[in-house]
Structure 1
Amino acid sequence: MEAFPSVPDLVGGFIEGIGISNILFGISIAQAYVYMQNWERDPKWMKWLAVSVMLLETMNTVFVQRQQYFYSVLAISDPFLLVEIDWSIPAALIFEVVSEIVVQSFYVHRMWIFSRNIALTTGTSILLLCRYGFYINCIVDTIKYKTWPELHAAMGFKPSFIATASVIIFTDTVIASTMAFYLYRKKSSIRKTRGIMTWLMVYFVNTGAILVALSTTSLITFLVTPNSLLFGATILLYARALANALFGALNARLLLRTKRNETVTFGGTSIPGNVGSYPHELRKVQVRVEHDTMVIGHPNESVAGSDTAFKSSQSLNSGQAKV
């Protein structure tokens, strides 16, 4: 039997990862609250998606707290419990994988909205299905085997985990790159619209980079530190970051609408803004002369480009304007 690893080496990073994940979960709650306060214009499926992800993340957090209690409290009286796989591990992973499937489906849908590329969208969807097939196999292994050494020694666990991490690294890179590429192609010559496109490109690239970095870290820690549960912490952080990215994307539309005051299509939803805010638009101007005073009014309507209309009327008591 291999030498028993020290407690800090085995669960130190895992417990710290749980603490960070709790912070990210709190951020998700705040973002979900903001979104639910401003979701009137969104379709029902998007509202259900946000609610479902929040419920799944909450259930996952409940079981994660059980893991923290098991490995940091119960294991004090019996250190050999540290090598056991508590029942809360597969329970939390089940809610985690369902939440990730829901969120990744939204991202694939958004990628289709922007690219309209059937081959690219279909290929990404197939890869994600394969990834979650490997992921489910890993969850089954955590139920089948009772200790971490047995799990690591299992014939199919290591290949399944490597395949899971490798595929998600690739698909996250593809999704982020595709969104940035098609946004770049659709950049408008209008200054405000160009600013929105640039903002969205930066958001997608940064979000994708964070997810890829967490997936890569999970794979590296799994291979380099087999006697540590640090890889489990990075898996948990990936799920939290993915949920935060979803709510950040949903709330970004409100921010863009407020800052830019123009129509934005994001994730299949169009958000109308104030048409009269564009620099190339002219307002209808109503001019009338009453007595010897010229009055210029600005109706609420506005028109763009060459459709400018001017309406003038004169009413004079003496029949002659005095200007």
Structure 2
Amino acid sequence: MSETIDLRPTNGAALIGIFISTAMYGFTTFQMFNYYQLSWHIDSWWIKVFVFYIWSLETVHVFLLCDFVYRFAIADFGNIVAISVTHTADDVTTGITALIVLSVHLFYTRRLWILSNKSVILVGVVGLLAFAHFGLEMAVMALTFKFPDFSQFHKITAFSTYTASLALAAGDDIIIAVSLCYLLYTRRTGVRKTDTLVNRIIAYTITTGALTSVVDIACLLCFVALPNALIYLALYDIAPNLYANSLLAMLNARESLQKASEVSTATGSLFALSELRARARTAIDNDGQHRAQDGPDVVSSKIAFAYPPGTESGLVDTVLDA
């Protein structure tokens, strides 16, 4: 009786990751079409091109993953030796992943540059980590060409390079999320509805930053603790989808946040207008006579300073357009 080899913890785990990644690609495509419907007339041309660029990389990424499925289930079905080594498509997947992560990191670095009033130190640290991670990912891709066998890949050079790459990605995600939250928090104005809007953006930033960081850290731990189980590979296949979807979701969320800010500003202005008019109507001079004729001047002068430039509407525009 022939011996049965359990592939569930190895290639089976990788297949599950590919299936999840493919499903998330559908959501990426939906978000891309949603972006062009909502923000086509808002953003500059380079952001529109950037969105298509990210989607194109994700498309290539998914096609390469599907190539793995075809070889595993059709071309090399039952050939244990063939499915225990990486192929060119698998190696190139690492490079595509590196490009997606670098691109998203640099996009968030641009937001930090705007919100931090061009802090060279902060942007320099985040950018340095982003490019360092990209360089290590390129080194990992080169090592997969040199050591195609999964067991050989876990030699000391590949081990240290891959773990350092994952650690840098997680660290950069954490720094970006914490920095954005801090910069957004310092821009709170004290206006309740505006601060509520800023808090929503902070909560979203924490969620997306924590999600990508947790996946990177989980991938790192699985690679160290279970190097031959390929669970880390499943998480690694999902990571690019998370980066792409977090970016597109952030861009698409601006529409609803902008509408919320407009409602907030309009409500606040109407409240200020009604209050000032009431005060103008009840203003009484020293002789006890009503000064109704001064009402419009009082109203117009105070409304001009009800929302000074750069406080509420200016803050919202800066935060959402960053």
Q: Does 1:140 align with 2:142?
A: yes
Looking at structure 2, the residues matched to 75 and 304 of structure 1 have their Cα atoms a distance apart, in angstroms, of: 78
Is the Cα–Cα contact under 8 Å of residues 25 and 241 in structure 2 kept in the other structure?
A: yes
Q: Aligned residues: percent identity?
A: 21
| Aligned equivalent of 1:205 | 206
Looking at structure 2, the residues matched to 159 and 259 of structure 1 have their Cα atoms a distance apart, in angstroms, of: 47
List alignment gaps of at least 5 residues for structure 1: 263-273, 286-301, 309-323
In structure 2, what residue type is equivalent to 1:74? A
Q: Secondary structure at the match of 2:273?
A: strand
Question: Cα distance 1:306–1:260, how it changes in 2: closer, same or farther (>3 A)?
Answer: closer
Report 1:35-184 matches (<5 A): 35-39=35-39, 40-116=41-117, 117-153=119-155, 155-184=156-185
Looking at structure 1, the residues matched to 177 and 16 of structure 2 have their Cα atoms a distance apart, in angstroms, of: 29
Question: Cα distance 1:138–1:303, how it changes in 2: closer, same or farther (>3 A)?
Answer: farther
List alignment gaps of at least 5 residues for structure 2: 278-298, 306-322
Is the Cα–Cα contact under 8 Å of residues 282 and 304 in structure 1 kept in the other structure?
A: no
Looking at structure 2, the residues matched to 304 and 27 of structure 1 have their Cα atoms a distance apart, in angstroms, of: 50
Say which is worse superposed, 27-36 or 225-234, in terms of deviation.
225-234
Q: Does 1:28 align with 2:28?
A: yes
In structure 2, what residue type is equivalent to 1:171? D
In structure 2, what residue type is equivalent to 1:32? M
| Aligned equivalent of 1:8 | 8
TM-score, normalization by structure 1:
0.80
Is the Cα–Cα contact under 8 Å of residues 222 and 231 in structure 1 kept in the other structure?
A: yes
In structure 2, what residue type is equivalent to 1:125? G
In structure 1, what residue type is equivalent to 2:147? Y
Is the Cα–Cα contact under 8 Å of residues 70 and 86 in structure 1 kept in the other structure?
A: no
Deviations 1:166-220 (A, max 9, x none): 1111111110001111111111212221111000110011111101110011101
Q: Secondary structure at the match of 2:38?
A: coil
Structure possessing the higher radius of gyration over alpha carbons: 1
| Aligned equivalent of 2:237 | 236
> Which runs of structure 1 show a deviation greater than 6 angstroms over 4 or more consecutive aligned residues?
none
**How many angstroms does 1:55 deviate by?**
0.7
Is the Cα–Cα contact under 8 Å of residues 85 and 148 in structure 1 kept in the other structure?
A: yes
Question: Cα distance 1:275–1:196, how it changes in 2: closer, same or farther (>3 A)?
Answer: closer
**How many angstroms does 1:259 deviate by?**
2.8
As a proportion of its length, which structure holds more helix? 2
Deviations 1:103-126 (A, max 9, x none): 111011111211232211101111
Looking at structure 1, the residues matched to 131 and 5 of structure 2 have their Cα atoms a distance apart, in angstroms, of: 36
Looking at structure 2, the residues matched to 74 and 206 of structure 1 have their Cα atoms a distance apart, in angstroms, of: 40
The count of aligned residue pairs is 278
Question: Cα distance 1:281–1:227, how it changes in 2: closer, same or farther (>3 A)?
Answer: same
TM-score, normalization by structure 2:
0.80
Looking at structure 2, the residues matched to 114 and 134 of structure 1 have their Cα atoms a distance apart, in angstroms, of: 29
In structure 2, what residue type is equivalent to 1:198? N
| Aligned equivalent of 1:249 | 250
Is the Cα–Cα contact under 8 Å of residues 141 and 157 in structure 1 kept in the other structure?
A: yes
In structure 2, what residue type is equivalent to 1:97? A
Looking at structure 2, the residues matched to 48 and 194 of structure 1 have their Cα atoms a distance apart, in angstroms, of: 32
Is the Cα–Cα contact under 8 Å of residues 215 and 239 in structure 2 kept in the other structure?
A: yes
As a proportion of its length, which structure holds more strand? 1
Question: Which structure exhibits the higher relative contact order, with contacts defined as CA atoms closer than 8 Å and separated by 6 or more residues?
Answer: 2
Q: Secondary structure at the match of 1:282?
A: helix
Q: Secondary structure at the match of 2:81?
A: helix
